[in-house]
Amino acid sequence: MAILKSYGVRLRESTPQFPRPNLCDNYKRRNVKWRSPQAAVIPNFHLPMRSFEVKNRTSADDIKSLRLITAIKTPYLPDGRFDLEAFDDLMHMQIENGAEAVIVGGTTGEGQLMSWDEHIMLIGHTVNCFGGLIKVIGNTGSNSTREAIHATEQGFAVGMQAALHINPYYGKTSLDGLISHFDSVLPMGPSIIYNVPSRTGQDIPPRVINSIAQSPNLAGIKECVGNDRIEQYTGNGIVVWSGNDDQCHDARWSHGATGVISVTSNLVPGLMRELMFGGKNPSLNAKLLPLIEWLFQEPNPVGLNTALAQLGVVRPVFRLPYVPLPLEKREEFVNLVREIGRENFVGKNDVQVLDDDDFILVGRY
Protein backbone atom coordinates (compact mmCIF):
# COMPACT_ATOMS: atom_id res chain seq x y z
CA MET A 1 0.00 0.00 0.00
CA ALA A 2 2.85 2.36 0.80
CA ILE A 3 4.27 1.73 -2.63
CA LEU A 4 0.94 2.59 -4.28
CA LYS A 5 0.67 5.81 -2.29
CA SER A 6 4.16 6.90 -3.21
CA TYR A 7 3.42 6.17 -6.89
CA GLY A 8 0.29 8.33 -6.70
CA VAL A 9 2.29 11.17 -5.23
CA ARG A 10 4.87 10.96 -8.01
CA LEU A 11 2.10 10.86 -10.62
CA ARG A 12 0.50 14.01 -9.24
CA GLU A 13 3.87 15.73 -9.09
CA SER A 14 4.63 14.83 -12.74
CA THR A 15 1.31 16.11 -14.08
CA PRO A 16 1.93 19.36 -15.98
CA GLN A 17 0.32 22.38 -14.36
CA PHE A 18 -1.31 24.82 -16.80
CA PRO A 19 -2.14 28.39 -15.82
CA ARG A 20 -5.80 29.03 -15.14
CA PRO A 21 -7.42 31.24 -17.75
CA ASN A 22 -8.01 34.85 -16.88
CA LEU A 23 -11.69 35.77 -17.22
CA CYS A 24 -10.75 39.18 -18.50
CA ASP A 25 -8.77 37.54 -21.35
CA ASN A 26 -11.83 35.49 -22.34
CA TYR A 27 -13.92 38.66 -22.53
CA LYS A 28 -11.39 40.27 -24.83
CA ARG A 29 -11.31 37.23 -27.14
CA ARG A 30 -15.10 37.20 -27.50
CA ASN A 31 -15.07 40.80 -28.63
CA VAL A 32 -12.37 40.37 -31.29
CA LYS A 33 -13.70 39.50 -34.77
CA TRP A 34 -11.95 36.38 -36.14
CA ARG A 35 -10.53 36.66 -39.65
CA SER A 36 -9.84 33.80 -42.00
CA PRO A 37 -6.20 33.56 -43.17
CA GLN A 38 -7.12 34.41 -46.76
CA ALA A 39 -3.59 34.18 -48.06
CA ALA A 40 -3.52 30.46 -47.23
CA VAL A 41 -6.90 29.54 -48.70
CA ILE A 42 -7.40 29.45 -52.49
CA PRO A 43 -10.82 27.97 -53.27
CA ASN A 44 -11.05 25.49 -56.18
CA PHE A 45 -7.42 26.08 -57.08
CA HIS A 46 -5.86 23.56 -59.44
CA LEU A 47 -2.61 23.55 -61.34
CA PRO A 48 -2.67 21.22 -64.38
CA MET A 49 0.36 19.11 -65.21
CA ARG A 50 0.62 21.03 -68.45
CA SER A 51 -0.65 24.48 -69.29
CA PHE A 52 -3.69 24.84 -71.52
CA GLU A 53 -1.69 26.92 -73.98
CA VAL A 54 -1.54 25.52 -77.51
CA LYS A 55 2.12 24.64 -77.80
CA ASN A 56 3.54 21.31 -78.91
CA ARG A 57 -0.06 20.15 -78.89
CA THR A 58 -2.25 18.72 -81.63
CA SER A 59 -5.23 20.93 -82.37
CA ALA A 60 -8.81 19.71 -82.58
CA ASP A 61 -8.77 20.56 -86.31
CA ASP A 62 -5.98 18.02 -86.83
CA ILE A 63 -8.16 15.35 -85.27
CA LYS A 64 -11.26 16.37 -87.24
CA SER A 65 -9.60 15.43 -90.54
CA LEU A 66 -8.88 11.79 -89.63
CA ARG A 67 -10.75 9.21 -91.70
CA LEU A 68 -9.49 5.82 -90.51
CA ILE A 69 -9.01 5.40 -86.75
CA THR A 70 -8.35 1.90 -85.42
CA ALA A 71 -9.54 0.92 -81.95
CA ILE A 72 -6.35 -1.06 -81.34
CA LYS A 73 -6.31 -4.46 -79.61
CA THR A 74 -4.22 -4.97 -76.44
CA PRO A 75 -2.36 -8.33 -76.54
CA TYR A 76 -1.27 -10.26 -73.45
CA LEU A 77 1.48 -12.52 -72.19
CA PRO A 78 0.51 -15.90 -70.66
CA ASP A 79 0.42 -14.37 -67.17
CA GLY A 80 -1.99 -11.65 -68.30
CA ARG A 81 0.46 -8.75 -68.48
CA PHE A 82 0.71 -6.64 -71.65
CA ASP A 83 2.64 -8.18 -74.53
CA LEU A 84 4.29 -4.98 -75.73
CA GLU A 85 6.24 -6.69 -78.51
CA ALA A 86 3.02 -8.00 -80.05
CA PHE A 87 1.39 -4.60 -79.48
CA ASP A 88 4.23 -2.87 -81.32
CA ASP A 89 3.88 -5.31 -84.23
CA LEU A 90 0.16 -4.52 -84.42
CA MET A 91 0.94 -0.81 -84.44
CA HIS A 92 3.46 -1.23 -87.27
CA MET A 93 0.84 -3.10 -89.31
CA GLN A 94 -1.66 -0.29 -88.80
CA ILE A 95 0.85 2.37 -89.82
CA GLU A 96 2.07 0.44 -92.87
CA ASN A 97 -1.49 -0.10 -94.08
CA GLY A 98 -2.63 3.49 -93.80
CA ALA A 99 -4.46 3.92 -90.50
CA GLU A 100 -4.23 7.57 -89.43
CA ALA A 101 -4.85 7.17 -85.70
CA VAL A 102 -5.44 4.61 -82.96
CA ILE A 103 -7.64 4.54 -79.89
CA VAL A 104 -5.55 3.13 -77.03
CA GLY A 105 -7.35 1.38 -74.17
CA GLY A 106 -10.83 1.67 -75.65
CA THR A 107 -13.49 -1.01 -75.46
CA THR A 108 -11.68 -3.02 -78.14
CA GLY A 109 -8.37 -2.54 -76.30
CA GLU A 110 -10.06 -3.65 -73.08
CA GLY A 111 -9.44 -0.47 -71.13
CA GLN A 112 -12.25 -1.65 -68.87
CA LEU A 113 -9.97 -4.48 -67.69
CA MET A 114 -6.96 -2.23 -67.02
CA SER A 115 -5.80 -0.44 -63.92
CA TRP A 116 -5.24 3.26 -64.51
CA ASP A 117 -1.50 2.66 -64.13
CA GLU A 118 -1.63 0.16 -67.01
CA HIS A 119 -3.85 2.49 -68.98
CA ILE A 120 -1.60 5.54 -68.80
CA MET A 121 1.54 3.44 -69.28
CA LEU A 122 0.18 2.00 -72.54
CA ILE A 123 -0.81 5.44 -73.80
CA GLY A 124 2.66 6.77 -72.95
CA HIS A 125 4.36 3.77 -74.57
CA THR A 126 2.34 4.25 -77.77
CA VAL A 127 3.16 7.95 -77.91
CA ASN A 128 6.83 7.32 -77.22
CA CYS A 129 7.19 4.68 -79.95
CA PHE A 130 4.71 5.82 -82.60
CA GLY A 131 3.52 9.35 -81.81
CA GLY A 132 5.46 10.82 -84.71
CA LEU A 133 3.91 8.40 -87.23
CA ILE A 134 0.27 8.16 -86.18
CA LYS A 135 -2.14 10.09 -83.97
CA VAL A 136 -2.58 8.57 -80.51
CA ILE A 137 -6.01 9.01 -78.94
CA GLY A 138 -6.26 7.78 -75.35
CA ASN A 139 -9.47 6.48 -73.89
CA THR A 140 -9.50 8.37 -70.59
CA GLY A 141 -13.25 8.46 -70.13
CA SER A 142 -14.97 7.19 -67.01
CA ASN A 143 -18.35 7.12 -65.31
CA SER A 144 -16.66 9.09 -62.52
CA THR A 145 -15.96 12.71 -63.44
CA ARG A 146 -13.12 12.78 -60.92
CA GLU A 147 -11.44 9.78 -62.56
CA ALA A 148 -12.01 11.15 -66.07
CA ILE A 149 -10.38 14.46 -65.12
CA HIS A 150 -7.40 12.77 -63.50
CA ALA A 151 -6.84 10.22 -66.29
CA THR A 152 -7.23 12.83 -69.03
CA GLU A 153 -4.74 15.10 -67.34
CA GLN A 154 -2.26 12.23 -67.11
CA GLY A 155 -2.93 11.17 -70.70
CA PHE A 156 -2.12 14.59 -72.08
CA ALA A 157 0.88 14.81 -69.77
CA VAL A 158 2.37 11.68 -71.37
CA GLY A 159 1.72 13.07 -74.85
CA MET A 160 -1.55 11.71 -76.23
CA GLN A 161 -2.94 13.92 -78.96
CA ALA A 162 -6.63 13.58 -78.12
CA ALA A 163 -8.93 11.97 -75.56
CA LEU A 164 -11.92 9.69 -76.01
CA HIS A 165 -14.75 10.33 -73.54
CA ILE A 166 -17.80 8.21 -72.85
CA ASN A 167 -20.89 9.30 -70.98
CA PRO A 168 -21.18 8.08 -67.37
CA TYR A 169 -22.52 4.52 -67.49
CA TYR A 170 -24.33 2.23 -65.02
CA GLY A 171 -25.13 4.92 -62.46
CA LYS A 172 -25.90 7.31 -65.35
CA THR A 173 -26.97 10.90 -64.75
CA SER A 174 -29.34 13.61 -65.98
CA LEU A 175 -28.83 15.47 -69.25
CA ASP A 176 -27.58 18.48 -67.32
CA GLY A 177 -25.21 16.12 -65.53
CA LEU A 178 -23.89 14.88 -68.89
CA ILE A 179 -23.19 18.45 -69.97
CA SER A 180 -21.39 19.23 -66.71
CA HIS A 181 -19.36 16.01 -67.02
CA PHE A 182 -18.15 16.84 -70.52
CA ASP A 183 -17.60 20.50 -69.64
CA SER A 184 -15.22 19.30 -66.91
CA VAL A 185 -12.92 17.40 -69.29
CA LEU A 186 -13.11 19.30 -72.58
CA PRO A 187 -10.86 22.20 -71.49
CA MET A 188 -7.89 19.80 -71.19
CA GLY A 189 -7.42 19.16 -74.90
CA PRO A 190 -8.92 17.81 -78.14
CA SER A 191 -11.61 15.26 -77.38
CA ILE A 192 -13.96 12.83 -79.10
CA ILE A 193 -17.28 12.06 -77.41
CA TYR A 194 -18.32 8.41 -77.70
CA ASN A 195 -22.02 7.58 -77.83
CA VAL A 196 -22.80 3.85 -77.52
CA PRO A 197 -26.12 3.39 -75.66
CA SER A 198 -25.95 -0.42 -75.98
CA ARG A 199 -23.01 -0.36 -73.54
CA THR A 200 -23.73 2.66 -71.36
CA GLY A 201 -27.50 2.24 -71.07
CA GLN A 202 -28.02 5.90 -71.92
CA ASP A 203 -28.10 7.81 -75.20
CA ILE A 204 -26.27 11.12 -75.54
CA PRO A 205 -28.98 13.12 -77.32
CA PRO A 206 -28.36 16.03 -79.70
CA ARG A 207 -29.33 18.50 -76.98
CA VAL A 208 -26.19 17.57 -75.03
CA ILE A 209 -23.90 17.61 -78.08
CA ASN A 210 -25.27 20.96 -79.26
CA SER A 211 -24.62 22.41 -75.81
CA ILE A 212 -20.95 21.38 -75.72
CA ALA A 213 -20.32 21.98 -79.44
CA GLN A 214 -19.09 25.50 -78.70
CA SER A 215 -15.95 24.13 -77.07
CA PRO A 216 -12.92 24.56 -79.34
CA ASN A 217 -11.63 21.22 -78.04
CA LEU A 218 -14.60 19.16 -79.26
CA ALA A 219 -13.11 17.31 -82.22
CA GLY A 220 -16.26 15.32 -82.91
CA ILE A 221 -18.52 12.41 -82.03
CA LYS A 222 -18.09 8.66 -82.35
CA GLU A 223 -21.71 7.81 -83.01
CA CYS A 224 -23.20 4.31 -82.75
CA VAL A 225 -26.91 5.15 -82.87
CA GLY A 226 -27.07 5.07 -86.67
CA ASN A 227 -26.68 7.01 -89.87
CA ASP A 228 -29.77 9.18 -89.38
CA ARG A 229 -28.23 10.62 -86.22
CA ILE A 230 -24.90 11.03 -88.03
CA GLU A 231 -26.57 13.03 -90.81
CA GLN A 232 -28.34 15.20 -88.24
CA TYR A 233 -24.96 16.22 -86.81
CA THR A 234 -23.03 16.56 -90.05
CA GLY A 235 -25.81 18.76 -91.42
CA ASN A 236 -25.02 21.16 -88.56
CA GLY A 237 -21.27 21.10 -89.18
CA ILE A 238 -20.35 18.70 -86.36
CA VAL A 239 -17.68 16.13 -87.21
CA VAL A 240 -18.78 12.52 -86.77
CA TRP A 241 -17.11 9.13 -87.05
CA SER A 242 -19.21 6.03 -87.51
CA GLY A 243 -18.85 3.66 -84.59
CA ASN A 244 -20.49 0.80 -86.51
CA ASP A 245 -18.28 -1.00 -89.03
CA ASP A 246 -21.28 -2.46 -90.85
CA GLN A 247 -22.68 1.05 -91.49
CA CYS A 248 -19.46 2.99 -92.00
CA HIS A 249 -19.35 2.83 -95.83
CA ASP A 250 -22.78 4.44 -96.16
CA ALA A 251 -22.07 6.78 -93.25
CA ARG A 252 -18.94 8.05 -95.01
CA TRP A 253 -20.28 8.40 -98.54
CA SER A 254 -24.01 9.06 -98.07
CA HIS A 255 -24.45 10.69 -94.64
CA GLY A 256 -21.46 13.01 -94.27
CA ALA A 257 -19.35 11.10 -91.74
CA THR A 258 -15.67 12.01 -91.75
CA GLY A 259 -14.70 8.35 -91.36
CA VAL A 260 -14.83 5.43 -88.97
CA ILE A 261 -13.42 4.36 -85.62
CA SER A 262 -13.03 0.74 -86.53
CA VAL A 263 -12.61 -2.69 -84.96
CA THR A 264 -12.35 -4.50 -88.30
CA SER A 265 -9.28 -2.47 -89.31
CA ASN A 266 -7.31 -4.43 -86.70
CA LEU A 267 -7.60 -7.34 -89.15
CA VAL A 268 -7.78 -5.74 -92.61
CA PRO A 269 -6.47 -2.17 -92.27
CA GLY A 270 -5.68 -1.82 -95.98
CA LEU A 271 -9.20 -2.75 -97.07
CA MET A 272 -10.76 -0.47 -94.46
CA ARG A 273 -8.58 2.38 -95.68
CA GLU A 274 -9.76 1.76 -99.23
CA LEU A 275 -13.36 1.79 -97.97
CA MET A 276 -12.83 5.21 -96.33
CA PHE A 277 -10.58 6.85 -98.93
CA GLY A 278 -11.49 5.36 -102.31
CA GLY A 279 -14.99 6.67 -102.90
CA LYS A 280 -18.21 4.67 -102.97
CA ASN A 281 -17.40 0.99 -103.26
CA PRO A 282 -20.48 -1.15 -102.56
CA SER A 283 -18.75 -4.30 -103.84
CA LEU A 284 -15.89 -4.00 -101.34
CA ASN A 285 -18.39 -3.17 -98.60
CA ALA A 286 -20.39 -6.30 -99.46
CA LYS A 287 -17.18 -8.34 -99.42
CA LEU A 288 -16.35 -7.19 -95.90
CA LEU A 289 -19.84 -7.47 -94.36
CA PRO A 290 -19.64 -11.24 -93.63
CA LEU A 291 -16.38 -10.66 -91.73
CA ILE A 292 -17.91 -7.76 -89.82
CA GLU A 293 -20.99 -9.79 -88.94
CA TRP A 294 -18.74 -12.62 -87.72
CA LEU A 295 -16.73 -10.21 -85.55
CA PHE A 296 -19.80 -8.90 -83.73
CA GLN A 297 -21.83 -12.08 -83.22
CA GLU A 298 -20.64 -11.90 -79.61
CA PRO A 299 -19.85 -8.65 -77.76
CA ASN A 300 -16.66 -7.00 -78.96
CA PRO A 301 -13.75 -7.80 -78.44
CA VAL A 302 -14.49 -11.55 -78.19
CA GLY A 303 -14.46 -12.08 -81.96
CA LEU A 304 -11.44 -9.87 -82.62
CA ASN A 305 -9.37 -11.51 -79.89
CA THR A 306 -10.18 -14.94 -81.31
CA ALA A 307 -9.38 -13.88 -84.88
CA LEU A 308 -6.01 -12.29 -84.06
CA ALA A 309 -4.99 -15.41 -82.15
CA GLN A 310 -5.98 -17.58 -85.13
CA LEU A 311 -3.86 -15.38 -87.39
CA GLY A 312 -0.88 -15.86 -85.08
CA VAL A 313 -0.27 -12.16 -84.45
CA VAL A 314 -1.14 -12.32 -80.73
CA ARG A 315 -0.89 -15.09 -78.17
CA PRO A 316 -4.21 -16.88 -77.50
CA VAL A 317 -4.49 -15.27 -74.06
CA PHE A 318 -7.78 -13.85 -72.79
CA ARG A 319 -8.31 -11.72 -69.72
CA LEU A 320 -11.57 -12.88 -68.18
CA PRO A 321 -14.45 -12.34 -68.50
CA TYR A 322 -13.68 -12.64 -72.23
CA VAL A 323 -13.40 -16.15 -73.66
CA PRO A 324 -12.75 -17.31 -77.25
CA LEU A 325 -15.45 -18.12 -79.76
CA PRO A 326 -16.36 -21.82 -79.99
CA LEU A 327 -14.73 -24.23 -82.42
CA GLU A 328 -17.38 -24.00 -85.13
CA LYS A 329 -17.03 -20.20 -85.21
CA ARG A 330 -13.26 -20.47 -85.43
CA GLU A 331 -13.69 -22.76 -88.42
CA GLU A 332 -15.96 -20.14 -90.02
CA PHE A 333 -13.22 -17.55 -89.62
CA VAL A 334 -10.72 -19.74 -91.47
CA ASN A 335 -13.15 -19.88 -94.41
CA LEU A 336 -13.69 -16.10 -94.29
CA VAL A 337 -9.95 -15.48 -94.46
CA ARG A 338 -9.65 -17.72 -97.50
CA GLU A 339 -12.59 -16.03 -99.25
CA ILE A 340 -11.33 -12.49 -98.65
CA GLY A 341 -7.68 -13.44 -99.21
CA ARG A 342 -5.03 -14.11 -96.58
CA GLU A 343 -2.87 -11.36 -98.08
CA ASN A 344 -5.42 -8.76 -96.96
CA PHE A 345 -5.14 -9.71 -93.28
CA VAL A 346 -2.47 -8.70 -90.77
CA GLY A 347 0.37 -11.08 -90.00
CA LYS A 348 2.20 -13.63 -92.10
CA ASN A 349 1.33 -16.99 -90.53
CA ASP A 350 -1.29 -19.30 -91.99
CA VAL A 351 -4.67 -18.94 -90.32
CA GLN A 352 -5.31 -21.73 -87.80
CA VAL A 353 -8.49 -23.09 -86.22
CA LEU A 354 -6.77 -23.65 -82.81
CA ASP A 355 -7.93 -26.18 -80.24
CA ASP A 356 -9.76 -25.23 -77.08
CA ASP A 357 -6.71 -26.21 -75.07
CA ASP A 358 -4.57 -23.69 -76.98
CA PHE A 359 -6.31 -20.76 -75.26
CA ILE A 360 -5.22 -19.38 -71.89
CA LEU A 361 -7.86 -17.72 -69.71
CA VAL A 362 -6.46 -15.42 -67.04
CA GLY A 363 -8.60 -14.35 -64.12
CA ARG A 364 -5.93 -12.67 -61.98
CA TYR A 365 -3.65 -10.21 -63.73
Q: Among the options 73, 135, 194, 233, which is catalytic?
A: 194
Cα–Cα distance, 278 to 255 (Å, whole number) = 16
* Residue 171 identity (one-letter amino acid): G
d(CA 99, CA 134): 8
Active site residue 222: yes
Q: Which contacts (CB < 8 Å, 24+ apart) does range 142-151 have?
A: 142/166, 142/168, 143/168, 143/169, 143/170, 143/171, 144/168, 145/180, 145/181, 145/184, 145/185, 147/116, 148/181, 148/184, 148/185, 149/184, 149/185, 149/188, 150/116, 151/116, 151/119, 151/120
Instruction: Tell me how far apart the alpha carbons of residues 256 and 254 are, in angstroms, rounded to a whole number.
Output: 6
Give the active site residue among 73, 76, 222, 233.
222
Could you confirm whether 322 is annotated as catalytic?
A: no
- By annotation, the residues acting in catalysis are 194, 222
